[in-house]
Structure 1
Amino acid sequence: MNLTLLTHLTLAVVMDFGNGRISNRLIVSGLIWGLAFRLLGEGSAGAVHFLMNISIPVILLFLLFSLCILGAGDIKLFSIAGGFLTLTQLCYLIPVAFVVGAVIGAGKIVYKKVTVGYAIGTKTFMHFSTAILIGYFIVVWGWGIA
Structure 2
Amino acid sequence: MKINQCFFLIPIGLFAVFFDLRKGKIPNELIVIGLILGCCFQIRQAKAVGLLLFLGGACIPVVLGAGIYYFRMMGAGDMKLWAVVGGFLGPQRAVYCMIASLFVGAVLSIFVLLKRRNLKTRLLYFCSYIQRQQNGVWEPYLNEKDQDGRFHFAIAILGGILLCAGGVY
- The 3 A distance-change label for structure 1 pair 98 and 39 is same
SS of corresponding position for 1:22: coil
Q: Output the TM-score relative to the length of structure 1.
A: 0.89
Measured in 2, the distance between the counterparts of 1:88 and 1:74 equals 19
Unpaired stretches in structure 1, ≥5 consecutive residues: none
1:8-47 alignment to 2 at 5 Å?
8-47=12-51
1:29-66 deviations in Å (ceiling 9; x for gaps) = 00000011111111111011111110011111111111
Alignment correspondent of 1:67: 71
1:50 aligns with 2:54: yes
RMSD value, Cα: 1.8
Counterpart CA distance in 2 for 1:96 and 1:110 is: 22
Stretch moving more, 118-127 or 28-37: 118-127
Contact 1:39 1:47 in 2 (8 A): yes
Partner of 1:88: 92
Q: Which runs of 5+ in 2 are unaligned?
A: 126-147
Runs of 4+ in 1 over 4 A off after TM superposition: none
Give the structure 1 partner of residue 143 of structure 2: none
The higher radius of gyration belongs to: 2
Q: State TM-score, norm by structure 2.
A: 0.78
Paired-residue identity, %: 31
Asked if 2 retains the 8 angstrom alpha-carbon contact of 1:34 and 1:83, the reply is yes
Q: Identify the residue that residue 134 of structure 1 maps to in structure 2.
A: 159
